[in-house]
């Protein structure tokens, strides 16, 4: 079949024939009338040389064929329902997103449906606000830039910078202030920091907002726990800066990370600060944005799926359950001055799930601490290694022997311990199978 050329037709006052009795025909009549066309609803036999377009939308293919023959004889372009081979006009599927019409031509209706869903999810939910804001701002900018390239470039920069992000967040006043600043200086201020939670590993667990911001940033500062698959989503032009820390070693001191974020943003760059999991859960995200706030740098925080949620879900262990656990606590098994800085008494409670982050090197002391405080050593416990990734493994034991079972298993960080009766549910609910070194078990 010959490839159709996508076109937008102005049909004001043009005669269009729509033949058919069903919902498609009615929708077409409505659409053409809304566009100002002069619509003739007909069963055929009415074609004259003044007709601009014909739509043969009968249920009966023979009637459509007959009308198509008539249209072809008069050289009038015709669309024939379900017969692309007889059609001069191919109809796209049209979605109105914000106030733009997006038309998709593809012969496979399932692909068209799928594209529609993807298009809608690619657009931030507040995009209509951007369209409105641009419309209102145009006039002001028209006097400043009489036309051509500089104006286009100015808008392009503005639309991918801090001001547009403020509009999306519903903060119109701040956006206006940024627009005024940009007009005064002649160049849009784009510098901003996006503090983004990258989730526990599987890149599909990023939020829509995280993906959008990653695709528009100029530089990224990332941690050791950010999965390589997440970094692969970045455009090639983005500068990648590793600032990961390792246990007991801090190659890039926190103060230096803070300064770098601030300086990059103040120099007008859009900087993504990517952190494993959620930036506000054992992630020092609060410290970083406090510094930015003091320096007057614009920022936004994008939550991520924390390791506890991701690992529990992929291990088939609900963290709460009506029969097993009514509360859940997240603790860190980090050492401070040689010992574990944990309030074990608060952790040993009936019906409570305990999730321990950063626990591999302190796992033994952590489990002993729980048992010493009265936890039954037979309480079920799981260690999730590299959760949500292809290399995920889950070791099931009891709190009394989790540390020994882990030592036998050549486990590699990152790992997370889940302790409590909910671990029993894994027997019934395990669903995820990693395809790499781990087998999901
Ligand atoms: C510095 S904390 C950061 C936590 C992160 N902000 C979050 O919300 O998940 C790092 C700890 O998170 C846990 N962790 C992160 N990703 C993990 C994964 N994919 N599998 C198992 N544990 C993970 C480990 O306990 C690791 O030591």
Question: What does the block give as tokens for 206?
Answer: 């990023």
Tell me, yes or no, whether 208 and 290 share the same domain. yes
What pLDDT shows up at residue 2? 74
Residue 441 within any structural domain of the chain: no
CATH of the domain at 242: 3.40.1010.10
Judge if the beta carbon of residue 333 lies within 6 A of ligand 1.
Answer: no
What pLDDT shows up at residue 440? 42
Tell me, yes or no, whether 1 and 84 share the same domain. yes
Whole domain around residue 41: which residue ranges? 1-91
Residue 115 within any structural domain of the chain: no
Residue 70 within any structural domain of the chain: yes
Question: What does the block give as tokens for 413?
Answer: 């960080």
Residue 226 within any structural domain of the chain: yes
Tell me, yes or no, whether 296 and 315 share the same domain. no
What pLDDT shows up at residue 249? 65
Q: Indicate the residue among 305, 336, 370 that finishes a domain.
A: 305
Best mutation site among 276, 309, 317 for ligand 1 pocket (most ligand atoms within 8 Å of CB): 276
Question: What does the block give as tokens for 362?
Answer: 């302190």
Q: What's the rounded Cα separation, in Å, for the pair 17 and 32?
A: 10
285 Cα: distance to centroid of ligand 1 (angstroms): 14
Tell me, yes or no, whether 167 and 199 share the same domain. no
* Ligand 1 atom with the shortest distance to the CA of 304: 8
Q: What's the rounded Cα separation, in Å, for the pair 69 and 416?
A: 71
Q: What's the rounded Cα separation, in Å, for the pair 377 and 138?
A: 69
Tell me, yes or no, whether 224 and 300 share the same domain. yes
pLDDT tens-digit map of 71-123? 999 999 999 999 999 999 999 998 888 878 889 988 888 999 999 888 888 88
CATH of the domain at 65: 3.40.50.720
CATH of the domain at 366: 3.30.950.10
Residue 436 within any structural domain of the chain: no
Tell me, yes or no, whether 4 and 58 share the same domain. yes
Positions in the chain whose pLDDT score sits under 70: 1, 43-45, 145-152, 188-189, 245-250, 336, 338, 435-441
Active-site residue list: 223, 245
What pLDDT shows up at residue 149? 56
What pLDDT shows up at residue 247? 57
Judge if the beta carbon of residue 199 lies within 6 A of ligand 1.
Answer: no
Residue 245 within any structural domain of the chain: yes
Tell me, yes or no, whether 319 and 424 share the same domain. yes
What pLDDT shows up at residue 88? 95
Q: Indicate the residue among 91, 106, 141 that finishes a domain.
A: 91
**Taking the model in full, what pTM does it have?**
0.81
Residue 48 within any structural domain of the chain: yes
Tell me, yes or no, whether 323 and 414 share the same domain. yes
Q: Which residues contact 394 (CB under 8 A, 6 or more apart)?
A: 315, 382, 383, 384, 385, 426, 430, 440, 441
Total tally of structural domains belonging to the chain: 4
What pLDDT shows up at residue 4? 83
What pLDDT shows up at residue 372? 97
Judge if the beta carbon of residue 306 lies within 6 A of ligand 1.
Answer: yes
* Ligand 1 atom with the shortest distance to the CA of 388: 19
Tell me, yes or no, whether 293 and 344 share the same domain. no
Tell me, yes or no, whether 315 and 346 share the same domain. yes
Tell me, yes or no, whether 252 and 290 share the same domain. yes
Tell me, yes or no, whether 237 and 347 share the same domain. no
Judge if the beta carbon of residue 282 lies within 6 A of ligand 1.
Answer: yes
- CB crowding 151-183: b at 16 or more within 10 Å, else e: eeebbebbbbbbbbbbbbeeeeebbbebbeebb
What pLDDT shows up at residue 148? 58
308 Cα: distance to centroid of ligand 1 (angstroms): 8
Residue 440 within any structural domain of the chain: no
Q: Indicate the residue among 157, 189, 221 that finishes a domain.
A: 189
């Amino acid at each position: 079949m010959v490839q159709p050329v996508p076109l937008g037709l102005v049909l004001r006052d043009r005669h269009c024939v729509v033949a058919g009795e069903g919902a498609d025909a009615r929708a077409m009549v409505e659409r053409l009338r809304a566009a100002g066309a002069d619509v003739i609803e007909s069963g055929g036999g009415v074609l004259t040389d003044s007709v601009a377009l014909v739509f043969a939308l009968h249920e009966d293919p023979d009637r459509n064929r007959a009308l198509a023959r008539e249209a072809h004889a008069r050289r009038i372009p015709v669309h024939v329902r379900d017969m692309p081979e007889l059609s001069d006009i191919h109809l796209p599927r049209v979605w109105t997103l914000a106030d733009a019409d997006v038309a998709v031509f593809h012969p496979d209706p399932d692909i068209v449906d799928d594209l529609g869903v993807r298009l809608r999810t690619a657009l931030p939910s507040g995009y209509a606000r951007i369209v409105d804001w641009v419309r209102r701002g145009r006039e002001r900018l028209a006097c400043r830039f009489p036309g051509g390239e500089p104006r286009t470039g100015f808008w392009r920069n503005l639309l991918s910078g801090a001001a547009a992000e403020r509009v999306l967040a519903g903060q119109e006043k701040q956006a206006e202030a940024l627009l005024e600043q940009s007009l005064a200086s002649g160049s849009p201020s784009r510098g901003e920091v996006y503090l983004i939670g990258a989730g526990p590993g599987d890149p599909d667990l990023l939020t829509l907002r995280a993906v959008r911001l990653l695709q528009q940033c100029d530089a990224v500062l990332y941690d050791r726990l950010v999965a390589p698959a997440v970094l692969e989503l970045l455009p090639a032009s983005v500068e990648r800066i590793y600032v990961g820390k390792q246990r007991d070693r801090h190659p890039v001191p926190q103060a230096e990370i803070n300064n770098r974020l601030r300086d990059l943003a103040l120099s007008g760059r859009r900087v993504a600060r990517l952190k494993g999991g959620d930036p506000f859960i054992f992630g020092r995200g609060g410290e970083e944005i406090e510094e930015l706030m003091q320096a007057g740098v614009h920022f936004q925080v994008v939550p991520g799926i924390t390791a506890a949620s991701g690992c529990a879900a992929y291990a088939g262990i609900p963290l709460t359950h009506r029969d097993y656990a009514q509360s859940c606590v997240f603790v860190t098994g980090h050492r401070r001055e040689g010992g574990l800085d944990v309030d074990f008494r608060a952790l040993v409670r009936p019906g409570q799930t305990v999730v321990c982050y950063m626990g591999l090197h302190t796992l033994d002391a952590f489990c002993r601490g729980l048992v010493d405080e009265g936890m039954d050593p037979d309480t079920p416990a799981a260690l999730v290694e590299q959760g949500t990734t292809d290399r995920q493994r889950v070791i099931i034991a009891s709190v009394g022997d989790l540390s020994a079972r882990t030592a036998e298993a050549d486990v590699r960080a990152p790992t997370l311990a889940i302790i409590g009766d909910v671990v029993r549910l894994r027997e019934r609910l395990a669903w995820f199978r990693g395809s790499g070194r781990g087998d999901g078990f």
